[in-house]
Each structure stands twice: as C-alpha cells, then as structure tokens.
Chains A and B, each alone.
Chain A
Amino acid sequence: MFSDFSAAELSAIFAMQGFAGLILFAVFVLMALGLAIIFGQMGVINMAHGEFMILGAYVTYMTSNLFASHFPQLFGSYFLFAIVFAFFAAALLGALVEWSMIRFLYHRPLDTLLATWGLSLIMQQTYRSIFGAREVGVVIPDWLMGSYQLTDMIEVPINGLFVMALAVLATLFVAALMYRSRWGKQVRAVVQNRPMAGAVGINTARVDRLTFALGCGIAGVAGSAFTMIGSTGPSSGQLYIVDTFLVVVFGGAGSLLGTVASAFSISQSQSILEFFMGGSMAKVLTLLVVVIILMFRPQGLFSLKVRR
C-alpha cells in the first residue's frame, strides 16, 4: 500500500493522520466530559446527554441567524458568543430537569436510565416541532473553515484545531473547578459519603443540582462545537450517545483523568485502525478490545477508591 510513495509524502500523510487522531481525541473528550461529571460523580445514567448537546447546537444555529440578521459585521465572531449561550441554555435546562425529575430518582439508578431515555424522546420531538424535522445548516464563519497549510504537504483542518483548543480549555476548567475550588471539594465530599457530607453542613441537594447543570452545560458547549463537524437535527444527539458512554465507562466512572485517558486510547486506536482497514472494521475491533479490557478491569481504567 505504501510502495508507490516517497518518504516525504508518507511522512506528511502520517503527520496528518496524527492530527486526525488528536481531533477525534478532542471530540471524545468534549463529548464525555459532561457525562463524566453526571454519571461519574452522581451515578445518574443520563440517556438524554446527546439531546443536551443538540440543544447547544440549536442555540448556535439561532445565534448565527441572530447575528446574520442583526449584527452582520460581527458575524465572524458569533461562534464565541454561541458557545457561551449554549452553555447557559443547556445548564439551565439541566437544573430544571434535575429539580423536576432526577432528584426523585437518586436511589434508583436504573430508573434514571428509563426516565432520561423518555426525556430524550420528548426533547427530540420538541426540537422537531420547533425547528422542523429536517437538519438545519449552521453557517460557520469563514475563518473557522478550510485548512491551515503547515508545510507544502501537511494541511490541518482549522475547525479541528478549534475543537482541540476548546477541549483543552473545557478540561482545564472542569479540573480547576473539581480540584481547586471550594464547590469542587463539596462535590467530591458528596460523592464519597453523602450522609456525612450532609452532616457537616453541605447542602447536598444544591450541590447535586449544580453538578447536573454543569454537566449539561458542558454538553451544550460540545454540541455547539460539533456544528462544525457534524449534523444538527432533532435526532443527531443519538449519534454521540454510544461513544460517550463508551468513553466514560472505559475510563472508569468518577475519574476525570480516566475519562481523558480513555478518550485518548479509544480515539487513537480507532483513528489508526480506520486508516488501515476502513470504518466498520475499525469500530468492531475497537469495541472488541474495550470489551476484553473491561472483562478484566470491570471498574474501568482508573477508579476512585470509595467506601461504599
């Protein structure tokens, strides 16, 4: 397969392939970060995670329309506003959902699965009623499209670089919040021992609500970023949900580092396998390896030592 190519061509292809893997890594991190908080910290199996992402995507779509009609001179920078709007829209909805539904189900994790699955169907149909069944085309500002010419032969997609930067920022933000802030300390205390945390004066209900809202908000940011690389339609969220759970479960619930490590290993193996053997086989092999590893390490790559 490589015999007809010069060394320069090959190294260019491999460099671009390396970037492809990194971009997929960033996509996985963004997808999984919100769920890692919700599933990892709170134990809620949120099947509507994809729909929260798509909420972010639709907010981006509306922001782009708003800027196109009212502030056309600022259109190039609408994306930055859209990300912020997407975060708050998804977080607000998340807080509402937690207050109206999730908080009654904390002791019944399997019921959260069913309830959030129902929620995801409701959200999908709501999008369909509001925005129509067809996919909407989000217009991306010119500076985010196209590719960056690194050398003569190496081209890197700019939207990929943007997603990478966003993934790094979001991860640092969550890490700082979890491990450097007072609120993060409270979250970790609640995860480790809910009754004791309550006993020392932590408002566990409020912590739960904020944690859920934060997870949903980050899903919204991810959805906003994915308008550049994927589709925005009522059921597009379904495209991401399986990979998202795969990353979180494989990484070990409750561990931010585990999520990042898992996203890295899955994305790299998938991207490399895809290059050599095509999409479907790559997926099969990746899943097979994940299943085998989980057989020997059911708790995932990294796990939190918690007294149960």
Chain B
Amino acid sequence: MDHSNDSRPFKQTRRKFLSTTVTAITAAVMMASMPMAVQAAAPATAEVNTTGLAVTDNTVKVGILHSITGTMAISEEGSVQAEILAIEQINAMGGVLGRKIEYIQEDGASDWPTFADRSNKLLRQDKVAAVFGCWTSASRKAVLPIFERYNGMLYYPTFYEGLEQSPNVIYTGQEATQQVLAGLDWVAEDKGAKTFYLIGSDYIWPRTSNKIARTHIEQHLGGQVVGEDYFPLGHTSFNSVINRIRLRKPDVIFASVVGGSNVAFYRQLKAAGLDMTKEDFSLLTISVTEDEILGIGGENIEGAYASMKYFQSLPNENNEAFVKAFKERWGADAVIGDVTQAAYLGPWLWKAAVEAAGSFDVDRVRAASPDIELNTAPEGYVRIHENHHLWSKGRIGHAQRNGQFKVVHETEELMEPDPFPAGYQ
C-alpha cells in the first residue's frame, strides 16, 4: 500500500487551538497559584471523558507496553524507565487536567503475538487513555490493527524505517530520512566523503534505511556506494566482511547492524586493526546509542560517528535537568540513549495534547495533536507534524572512550519528518 500521494488517512480538524491553549494556560496559572484547590479546579469527568475511558475524578489510567523479558528487554528497559520517570514528574506537577496518572505496565515478552494480546487487554479491559510502548517495528505492526480497531493512542519511541502513518500512533522517534539524510549530508560535507560502504542486519529497517542512503548518495551527493552487505540477525563473525571493506577502501562505512551482532562487529573491527580514531577511516552508524556502547565497550567504538537526534551529553538546560532526574530515579550508572529520550517525550506530548483538547477522548486528543510543541524536551524543541511524526533536529555524535558521545554537529533547522519520501523508494 502506498500512501505517498493520497490525502492523509485521517481527517485533520484543526480545533480552536488558540482558545484551548488559553484555557490550558489559565488552568495552569490557577493550579500554580492555588495548589490546594487543584481538585476543585479540575473539569468534571463527564466532560473530559465521553467514551468510557478509565478516568475518574482524580485519576487517569495509561498503559506501558514494553518487553521486560526476552531478547528485546535489553533495548526496551530504558524506554520503560523514561516513561515512568515522565509520568512521575507529571504527577508531581499536579497531573493532567487535575488527574494523577496511574500506569498499568504490561510485558510484551519480546514476542509479537503477546504484544497484540497485551494491547488488547490494555485497551478493552483496562480502558487506558493512552499507551506508551513498543520498540521493534514488528511489535508495532502487531498491535497496530488493535489500536486502529478499538481507537487507542500509541506513543511509539523508536527511530524506524517510516512507510507508516497511522491515526492511532504518534511516532516520537526519527523516521528513516531524518536520521539518514542528516548523517550523510554531514559526512559528505565535513569529511568530504565520496565512497560509502553500507552494512546492516538483514531486516526491514536497515534495508529501507540503506535504500534511502543509496539514493541520496548517488543522486544528491554525487558519491558512490562501493558495497552493500547484510547479515542475519545475531551474526557474530565479521572478519570476512572486514576484509571486503579493506579491499574496497570506502571513505565511510555506513552501519546499521543491530543487537548482539553490534558487539561482535565493533570488537572485530577494532581487533582487525581498523582504527576509527585515525583520520582516514570513518564510520557512521545509525544504530548505536549510549545503550549499545555498554555492551560494545567504549574502547572498541571510540572514534565512530552516530547520527541521532539526541545524545546524553547534549549541552542544554532541559537535558541537564533530565539526565539528573533520570540518574536520581534509576541510579548513577544509568545511561540514556536516543530512544530513551524519545520515550520520555511520549507522556509529555500526550499531556500537552490532552490539555489542548481539554479532554481525554482519543478523537479529540488526536485532533489537537498536530502542532503540539514541547519547549522542555531534553533534545530541545520538538513539534508534532500533521503526519504524527516529530519535527526535530538531526545531530552527529563522536563516540568517546568513556561510552559517551561528543556532539559535533547539529542541523540548523528542524528536519521535517517524511515517512513516505518521494523519490527514495
């Protein structure tokens, strides 16, 4: 199915945005000035909930749906922590529309049918107002029909391949073009790269990303792709492809290897004597965040570049406060990767949309969502696009020995999300 040319699959009714904002601001001011009267100021439940969601006079239920057991628990743990932190912070500020958020956490167990089953339970039995969850595209695809059928709202945190736009999902991570184009433009301009070697795990995200990368390199950057290789998920021997890379001598390796393979790839690259800290050899990855470096080891990936929208080391006030709060909540050793930050945005974006809509009703929240903006995001400023993805800046990080990235570049403008990029498919 190709949505690229037809109109958006959901109607976008721009409600009286200004007046609701004014109401929200007034409410906020009232809440701030009379903290004891929060309950009294909250609008009546019958008004803010006309579809039978789990909303009472002082609470609202939401769902958190991630894998906390199984293979994917490695990746999803950070997202759960970020979402819980955001919910606790919102509650400490007085909640949403005067109601405290209660979360129901379900385990997707790294199994896609379980994700579907659990989302069914959250939507139909628990009647949650929103769900923050999923990590892999496969799990998102598994729950999508359920969210669309029972009209739920999913806040999905992972950077992913695009090619999707559901009225029932807000995508808080980057879609492929935002990540790939920002990275390639920078490496071509700043490093003068002309030849590229694409290497990835063999599934939809790396393949789609590399398709976009190849088109961009060949048609817009005037460069050349000298190799493109895919490895089965979980592949652990990369010595042969490292020799292949030696033979082709690319200016840049563009890597989207994921999971356990990641660790094997970088450890073997380092052991093979390809030193990324030297000037003449660069690697640009779109799959390694601070989380992955824990397993890879900072000494093995030192010198690589990553194209993300967020790094833990981002120097701004929002982020410093976020990192501090995260470490206080989850321990001083906690690391925060790109997806963790995107997951943290979910509850805040939902709160802003609910307040703009003046209602928990999913239809109203959806209608109010486009153009919702967040000035307090750790990554800086973000805004929801009409296509339910986020406008955000692309950034390049330089991996350091201590496992952190140093931000070396940031796009000047917010990048427009484009899940169905014309000319790239």
- Complex-state Cα separation, A60 to B201, whole angstroms: 28
User: Whose C-beta in chain B lies nearest to the C-beta of A22?
Assistant: B239
Cβ-based interface call for B240 (8 A): yes
Is B229 an interface residue when CB atoms closer than 8 A count as contact? Answer: yes
Chain A proximity mask over B235-248: 1 for CB below 8 Å, otherwise 0 = 11101111110110
Within 8 A of B (CB), among A2-45: 5, 13, 16-17, 19-21, 23-24, 27
**Cα–Cα distance between A209 and B264 once the two chains are bound (Å):** 34
**Beta-carbon contacts of A103-140 to B below 8 Å, as 1s and 0s?**
00000000000000000000001001000111111111
* In the complex, A72 has a CB within 8 A of chain B: no
Are B273 and A271 interface neighbours, CB within 8 A? no
Determine the distance from Cα of A158 to Cα of B54 in the docked complex, in whole angstroms: 60
A235 to B69: give the CA distance in the assembly, Å.
10
Q: Does chain A have a CB within 8 A of B209?
A: no
Report whether B71 and A235 are in contact in the complex, using a CB–CB cutoff of 8 Å.
yes
Contacting residue for A136 out of B236, B242, B272, B295, CB 8 A: B295
Contact among A1, A134, A157 for B77, CB-based, below 8 A: A134
A231 within 8 A of B: yes
B202, B272, B299 — most chain A CB neighbours (10 Å): B272
- Cross-chain contact A279 with B202 (CB below 8 angstroms): yes
Number of interface residues of A (CB under 8 A): 54
The answer for the CA separation of A231 and B292 in the assembled complex, in Å, is 10
Residues of A with C-beta under 8 A to B103: none
Contact A233 B241 (CB under 8 A): no
Q: Are the C-beta atoms of A128 and B297 separated by less than 8 Å?
A: no
Q: Roughly how many angstroms separate A139 CA and B240 CA in the complex, as a whole number?
A: 24
Q: Does A239 sit within 8 A of B, measured CB to CB?
A: yes
Contact between B236 and A235, CB atoms less than 8 A apart: no
In the assembly, what is the distance between CA of A157 and CA of B244, in Å?
Answer: 16
What is the minimal beta-carbon distance from A119 to any residue of chain B, in angstroms? 16
Instruction: List, in ascending order, chain B residues with CB within 8 A of A147's CB.
Output: 271-273
Contact B294 A135 (CB under 8 A): yes
Question: B-side binding surface: helix, strand, loop or mixed?
Answer: helix
Are the CB atoms of B271 and A146 closer together than 8 Å?
A: yes
A280 touches B202 (CB 8 A): yes
Tell me, yes or no, whether A240 is within 8 Å of chain B by CB. Answer: yes
Q: What residues of chain A lie closer than 8 Å to B52, measured between beta carbons?
A: none
Known interface pairs A16-B246, A136-B295, A137-B296; A230-B260 also in contact (CB < 8 Å): yes
The count of A-to-B residue pairs whose CB atoms sit within 8 angstroms is: 148
Cβ A137 vs Cβ B295 within 8 A:
yes
Chain A: CB-nearest residue to B69: A125
Question: Is the pair A138, B297 in contact by a Cβ cutoff of 8 Å?
Answer: yes
Judged by a CB distance under 8 angstroms, whether B73 is at the interface is yes
Binary contact track B289-326/A, C-beta < 8 Å → 1, others 0: 00111111111000000000000000000000000000
If A13-B247, A20-B240 touch, does A231 touch B232 (CB 8 Å cutoff)?
no
Contact A24 B239 (CB under 8 A): yes
Residue ID in chain A nearest B229 by CB atoms: A278
Whether A230 contacts B267 in the complex (CB less than 8 A), given A5-B247, A278-B241, comes out as yes
Q: Does A262 contact B (CB under 8 A)?
A: no
Contact between chains at B239 and A20 (CB < 8 Å): yes
- Tell me, rounded to whole Å, the shortest Cβ–Cβ distance linking B350 to chain A: 26
Q: What separation, in Å, do the CA atoms of A175 and B311 have in the docked complex?
A: 52
Q: Of residues 131 to 156 in A, which have CB atoms within 8 Å of B's CB atoms?
A: 132-140, 145-147, 149, 155
Is the beta-carbon distance between B244 and A275 smaller than 8 angstroms? Answer: yes
Q: Does B270 have its Cβ within 8 Å of any Cβ on chain A?
A: yes
Whether a CB of chain B sits under 8 angstroms from the CB of A228 is yes
Contact A280 to B295, CB < 8 A, known contacts A125-B69, A230-B263, A239-B236: no
- The verdict on A159 contacting chain B, using a C-beta distance below 8 Å, is yes
By a beta-carbon cutoff of 8 Å, the part of chain B in contact with chain A is: 68-71, 73-74, 77, 202, 228-232, 234-237, 239-244, 246-247, 259-264, 267-268, 270-273, 291-299
Given A17-B243, A134-B291, 9 more pairs with CB closer than 8 A? A134-B74, A135-B294, A136-B294, A145-B299, A160-B271, A228-B267, A231-B260, A235-B74, A278-B231
* 17 pairs from A and B in contact (CB 8 Å cutoff): A19-B239, A128-B69, A134-B291, A137-B297, A140-B297, A157-B268, A226-B236, A229-B236, A230-B264, A231-B261, A231-B263, A239-B236, A239-B260, A271-B239, A272-B240, A279-B232, A279-B235
